[in-house]
């Protein structure tokens, strides 16, 4: 416990605060507002892990900050490394609970896959995270801290390469809307983490009302929608959220999202053998995109299996045929390379075994 007896539960958590709330805390401490900007840059741009590191602050202020505030990051409980260089992190959060995040190195960039919740409430049948149910939402600070922690632990691997952020880990980011969007603002802020908005992608299983709200946000990441079927019958079978927000409503909401001149929506399509990979599915998918006048691309993902999984992975030849059919019909399509499958770090595989 700090010297003045303030317990950790009563101290301000600074990671996750945007600049205005931070100015409020600085005023409480009797300091001038410009100090907030200094602290803000130390936390997010310089990624300081302690107040002692904030060397352009007066020593007395650093001491008061250490008594009344924290810049705690998650503790790394476990790191698993895949044969392809992917690293999966189990992070213990200071507010309690654990979460998984993934670091993926590539030749010209690195990608961090981060989580927005512990568990998930949406119960997509092919996703292992769904088996946990929803434990709790993460705060904006807990979301951003995953990025700070992975960047620090992979400093040499990140050197000289841009960072991509995909909010595709555990949880449904738009179910935790306010914290997720606050985290995006902190990540994208040039005075904050300074990760360009175009390098941040938020994935959703299809919460149509939240997508409409997302469309009105002044600072938006790229949007990836987990579509995974071309009929309401199949989508409702594998994604229960479709019973509340069927495909038509979902795509109408997607059509409201403003796009930059060269930007496209991404439709993620997890392929399940014999379920959503029939010869008729590419044509139906193209018809949906055209009917709703969407500027979109499709990212095909072969289902990732595991113990107790009810679905089978399609043959790669079938995935390529699906892609080629989409391309022939004028819809951009690609196949996602699954990373970290041997450590259960690929799409849909994150789940807390503890």
Q: Which pLDDT score is estimated for 326?
A: 98
- Dihedral sign for Cα atoms in the order 130, 131, 133, 137: negative
pLDDT, mean of residues 88-116: 94
| Model-wide pTM > 0.95 | no
189: left (phi over 0), alpha (psi -120 to 50) or beta: beta
User: What pLDDT sits at residue 312?
Assistant: 83
Pull the structure tokens for residue 14: 């600074």
Which sequence positions are flagged as catalytic? 100, 347
Q: Return the higher-pLDDT residue of 353 and 32.
A: 32
For residues 88 and 80, what is the distance between their CA atoms, to the nearest angstrom?
5
Q: How many CB atoms lie within 10 A of CB 221?
A: 27
Average pLDDT over residues 312-326: 93
Across the chain, mean pLDDT equals: 92
Looking at the predicted structure, is the pLDDT value of residue 1 above 50?
A: no
Which structural domains are found in the chain, ordered by start?
8-70 (1.10.150.530), 75-343 (3.20.20.70)
pLDDT at 222 over 70: yes
**pLDDT (tens digit per residue) in 138-167:** 999 999 999 999 999 999 999 889 999 999
Using an 8 Å Cβ cutoff, are 129 and 172 in contact? Answer: no
Give the CB-side neighbour count of residue 128, counting CA atoms within 13 A.
20
Residue 278: CA atoms inside 13 Å, Cβ hemisphere, count? 10
């Amino acid at each position: 416990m700090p010297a003045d007896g303030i317990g950790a539960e009563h101290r301000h958590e600074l990671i996750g605060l945007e600049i205005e709330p931070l100015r409020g805390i600085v005023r409480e401490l009797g300091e001038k507002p410009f100090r907030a900007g200094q602290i803000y840059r130390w936390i997010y741009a310089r990624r300081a892990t302690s107040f002692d590191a904030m060397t352009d602050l007066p020593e007395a202020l650093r001491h008061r900050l250490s008594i009344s505030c924290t810049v705690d990051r998650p503790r790394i409980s476990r790191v698993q490394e895949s044969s392809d260089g992917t690293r999966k992190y189990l992070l213990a959060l200071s507010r309690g609970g654990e979460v998984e995040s993934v670091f993926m190195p590539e030749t010209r960039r690195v990608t961090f896959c981060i989580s927005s919740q512990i568990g998930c409430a949406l119960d997509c049948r092919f996703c292992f995270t769904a088996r946990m149910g929803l434990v709790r939402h993460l705060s904006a600070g807990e979301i951003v801290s995953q990025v700070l922690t992975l960047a620090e632990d992979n400093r040499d691997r990140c050197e000289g390469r841009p960072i991509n952020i995909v909010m595709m880990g555990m949880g449904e980011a738009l179910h935790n809307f306010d914290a997720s969007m606050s985290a995006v603002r902190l990540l994208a802020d040039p005075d904050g983490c300074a990760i360009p908005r175009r390098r941040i992608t938020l994935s959703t299983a299809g919460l149509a009302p939240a997508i409409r709200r997302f469309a009105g946000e002044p600072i938006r990441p790229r949007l990836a929608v987990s579509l995974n079927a071309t009929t309401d019958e199949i989508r409702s079978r594998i994604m229960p959220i479709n019973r509340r927000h069927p495909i038509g409503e979902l795509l109408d909401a997607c059509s409201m999202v403003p796009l930059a001149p060269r930007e496209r929506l991404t439709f993620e399509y997890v392929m399940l053998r014999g379920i959503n990979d029939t010869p008729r599915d590419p044509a139906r998918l193209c018809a949906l995109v055209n009917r709703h006048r969407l500027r979109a691309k499709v990212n095909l993902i072969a289902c990732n299996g595991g113990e107790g999984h009810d679905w089978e992975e399609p043959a790669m030849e079938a995935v390529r045929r699906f892609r080629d059919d989409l391309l022939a019909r004028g819809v951009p399509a690609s196949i996602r390379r699954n990373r970290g499958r041997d450590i259960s770090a690929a799409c849909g595989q994150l789940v807390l075994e503890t």
